[in-house]
Amino acid sequence: MKKILYPLAFLAVIPALVHADATSSRLERVLQKGSLNVCTTGDYKPYTFLKEDGQYEGIDIAMAESLAASLGVKPTWVPVTWKSLPDEMNAGHCDIAMGGISVTLKRQQKAWFANVLDQDGKIPLVRCEDVRKYQTVEQLNTASVRLIEPAGGTNEAFVHSHLPKGTLTLSDNVTIFQKLVDKKADVMITDASEALYQQKRYPKLCAVNPKKPLQYGEKAYMLPRDDISWKMYVDQWLHLSKATGEYQQIVSQWLAVKK
pLDDT tens digits for the chain (259 residues)?
445 444 444 444 444 444 444 458 999 999 999 999 999 999 999 999 999 999 999 999 999 999 999 999 999 999 999 989 988 998 999 999 999 999 999 899 989 999 999 999 999 999 999 999 999 999 999 999 999 999 888 999 999 999 999 999 999 888 999 999 999 999 999 999 899 999 999 999 999 999 999 999 999 999 999 999 999 999 999 999 999 999 999 999 887 644 4
Homologous superfamily, domain 121-216: Periplasmic binding protein-like II (3.40.190.10)
Widest CA span in the chain: 87
Q: What is the DSSP letter of 5?
A: H
Helix (H, G, I), strand (E, B) or coil at 220: coil
Count the neighbouring beta carbons within 10 Å of the beta carbon of residue 202: 15
- Compute the distance between CA of residue 206 and CA of residue 111 in angstroms, rounded to an integer: 34
Q: Verify cis geometry, omega within 30 degrees of 0, for the bond prior to 15.
A: no
pLDDT at site 258: 41
How far out from the chain centre does Cα 19 lie?
32
Domain boundaries, the chain: 33-117+220-253, 121-216
pLDDT at site 13: 46
- Compute the distance between CA of residue 167 and CA of residue 185 in angstroms, rounded to an integer: 9
- Compute the distance between CA of residue 247 and CA of residue 98 in angstroms, rounded to an integer: 14
Asked, colleague to colleague, whether 33-117+220-253 and 121-216 share their fold, the answer is yes
Read off φ and ψ for residue 188, nearest 5 degrees: -115, 125
Is 33-117+220-253 in CATH node 3.30.930.10?
A: no
Strand partners for 216: 121
pLDDT at site 220: 97
pTM of the model: 0.78
Read off φ and ψ for residue 217, nearest 5 degrees: -150, 160
pLDDT at site 53: 94
Contact of 219 with 48, CB cutoff 8 Å: no
pLDDT at site 23: 53
Contact of 10 with 50, CB cutoff 8 Å: no
Letter for the amino acid at 8? L
